[in-house]
Amino acid sequence: MAARVRPISGFPEFLPNGRIVEQRALAALHHTFELHGFGEIETRAVEPLSVLLRKGEIDKEVYAVRRLHAEPGRESSEEDLALHFDLTVPFARYILENAGHLAFPFRRWQAQKVWRGERPQDGRYREFRQADIDIVGQDSLAAHHEAEIALVALEAYARLEAELGLPAVVLHVNNRKLSQGFYEGLGIEDTAAVLQRVDKYDKIGPTKVAELLVTELGLSQSVADQCVALAGIQASDSGFIDAVRALGVTSELLDAGLAELSTLVDTVTTQGLSGRILADLKIARGLDYYTGTVYETELLGHSKLGSVGSGGRYDQLASDGKRTFPGVGFSFGISRLLVPLINRDEIRASRDVPTCVLVAVTSDEARADSLATARELRARGISAEVAPSADKFGKQIKYADRRGIPFVWFPQGADSGEVKDLRSGDQVQASATTWTPPAEDLRPSIIGPGQTS
């Protein structure tokens, strides 16, 4: 079939090399999540439109899905469907649908693509992948899980740093109770409106935020200044408490927020991750539903990417009227993190293929020997493929070289032969049942921004 072949804007795809990088990143996350007792779920790509639109605001971004030739009669009973735009709404639906089969607190991870009809731009895609972790309780959920999610997130990023050479991160944390309590202590009623303006702190700076608070919300200059002063506080330990107290505002909710945030920072620090966490009181997160800790993630040296992982505590992830499910979650922006790095070739795999050994073919009649050699190698976990044709060896070597395969095996019968390292040119006698490549050549390695090839 002939086909239209231009890329569709906002729907990034990788060449095989880039996919190896993404595969390895997902494996690192998967491994971390399961070490912490998170099991995976996967939800269907579509939800009823009515479920997706309940969140409001998002309707312009939703992709509706319908059968091209839905037959009017039969189809009228079917609901309108749309592609999910995050993994939280489908998860909430999954919880309600399966609550009777799940043990709470329920811990799950989920790594799927999501779709949003936003105008594509740098770092924004129409199809992109997220990896989410959440811990969800039935009716209640202890605050220490908010520290736990921070620990899991930091350990996942540490693994990406160690295994892929990705830059280190700093987790910026705040607590909604702290901000809201502070605003309430100042006598502000519409605290959500203040948060929405403070959310622009990094983009427009403190002076402009204070201006908005005065002109749009009618706060006095001094109250606005207090809000901006709070947002300016950062500390890598409980030192933020004194800084907040120095502003002279008090409320019970503020006290609760200070205590929770300080416990979280202390817990993370005690578990050997000091320097990776920053209490950052300007972190607001746009979304209404957060009620405790909120997280954002800064990729050091790449702050232009924005937060590469975010989340928070919500007292009501889902509810069926009878039961309520509070939760705390964190979403890793896989595409946001990897697409720019891969496209700019700042991270790549050492070769384009999994293959470690190309087994040459001496003649068409002897192909079975080469197949047997490859089978022996694979039985010991060595990726091997057999040359596509019994060309002159020079041509077979060139084929391996073009694909980035490091070793070529010249068979002498099914079990033994000579194996050539294409990089050094060394060629040695070897047996297919014992020869082993250096560990670093067994599979492609990842060369990240922090490493040289």
Binding residues for L-histidine: 86-88, 116, 130, 134, 285, 289-290
Q: Is 40 in the site for its own copies (CB under 8 A)?
A: yes
Q: Which is nearer to its own copies, 40 or 189 (CB)?
A: 40
Question: For residue 86, what are the contacts with CB-CB under 8 A and spacing of at least 6?
Answer: 114, 130, 331
Min dist. Cβ of residue 401 to its own copies (A): 10
Q: Is 68 in the site for its own copies (CB under 8 A)?
A: yes
Min dist. Cβ of residue 395 to its own copies (A): 13
Q: Is 4 in the site for its own copies (CB under 8 A)?
A: yes
Which of these segments, 169-177, 217-225, 245-253, 380-388, binds its own copies (CB under 8 A)?
380-388
Q: Which is nearer to its own copies, 154 or 188 (CB)?
A: 154
User: What is the x/- site pattern for its own copies, positions 106-145, by CB under 8 A?
Assistant: -xx----x-x-x---------x---------x----x-xx
| 3-state DSSP assignment of residue 190 | coil
Report whether 236 contacts 278 (CB < 8 A): yes
Kindly tell me which residue out of 20, 253, 337, 339 binds its own copies, with binding defined by CB under 8 A. 20
Q: Is 35 in the site for its own copies (CB under 8 A)?
A: yes
Min dist. Cβ of residue 60 to its own copies (A): 5
DSSP characters for 319-352? E-SS-EEEEEEEEEEHHHHHHHHHHTTSSEESSS
Residue 142: other Cβ atoms inside 10 A: 13
What residue has token string 């189809």? 75
Angle, helices 176-185/191-198, rounded to nearest 10 degrees: 120
Report whether 350 contacts 445 (CB < 8 A): yes
- Cα-Cα-Cα-Cα torsion 356, 361, 364, 367, nearest 10 degrees, comes to -50
Q: Which is nearer to its own copies, 304 or 402 (CB)?
A: 402
Helix (H) / strand (E) containing 103: none
Which of these segments, 88-96, 195-203, 299-307, 332-340, binds its own copies (CB under 8 A)?
88-96
Total residues interacting with its own copies, rule: CB under 8 A: 109
What are all long-range contacts of 341-345, with beta carbons under 8 Å and residues at least 24 apart? 341/166, 341/448, 341/449, 342/14, 342/18, 342/21, 342/22, 343/12, 343/18
Kindly tell me which residue out of 72, 101, 121, 304 binds its own copies, with binding defined by CB under 8 A. 101
Residue 241: other Cβ atoms inside 10 A: 19
Min dist. Cβ of residue 149 to its own copies (A): 12
Which of these segments, 80-88, 209-217, 223-231, 235-243, binds its own copies (CB under 8 A)?
80-88
Which of these segments, 175-183, 227-235, 402-410, 417-425, binds its own copies (CB under 8 A)?
402-410
User: What is the x/- site pattern for its own copies, positions 312-341, by CB under 8 A?
Assistant: ----xxxxxx--------------------
Q: Which is nearer to its own copies, 105 or 448 (CB)?
A: 105
Q: Between residue 353 and residue 372, which ones bind its own copies under the rule CB under 8 A? A: 353-355, 367-368, 371-372
Q: Which is nearer to its own copies, 210 or 265 (CB)?
A: 265
Q: Is 51 in the site for its own copies (CB under 8 A)?
A: yes
Kindly tell me which residue out of 21, 386, 419, 430 binds its own copies, with binding defined by CB under 8 A. 386
Q: Between residue 154 and residue 213, which ones bind its own copies under the rule CB under 8 A? A: none
Kindly tell me which residue out of 205, 218, 286, 388 binds its own copies, with binding defined by CB under 8 A. 388
Min dist. Cβ of residue 428 to its own copies (A): 22
Min dist. Cβ of residue 207 to its own copies (A): 35
Q: Is 392 in the site for its own copies (CB under 8 A)?
A: no
Q: Is 422 in the site for its own copies (CB under 8 A)?
A: no
Q: End-to-end CA distance of the chain, in Å?
A: 40
What letters, b where the CB count within 10 A reaches 16 and e where it falls short, cover 373-397?
A: bbebbeeeebbbbbbeebeeeeebb
Which of these segments, 206-214, 298-306, 338-346, 377-385, binds its own copies (CB under 8 A)?
377-385
Report whether 86 contacts 51 (CB < 8 A): no
Report whether 422 contacts 394 (CB < 8 A): no
Which of these segments, 89-97, 212-220, 240-248, 330-338, binds its own copies (CB under 8 A)?
89-97
Report whether 30 contacts 346 (CB < 8 A): no
The angle subtended at Cα 200 by Cα 199 and Cα 204, nearest 5°, is: 160
Strands 407-412 and 357-359: parallel
Q: Is 438 in the site for its own copies (CB under 8 A)?
A: no
* Residue from 367, 357, 349, 344 nearest 414 by CA: 367
What distance lies between CA 350 and its chain's CA centroid?
23
Joined tokens for residue 421 = 């390292």
Q: How far apart are CA 92 and CA 327, in angstroms?
A: 10
Min dist. Cβ of residue 221 to its own copies (A): 38
Q: Between residue 248 and residue 277, which ones bind its own copies under the rule CB under 8 A? A: 267, 270-272
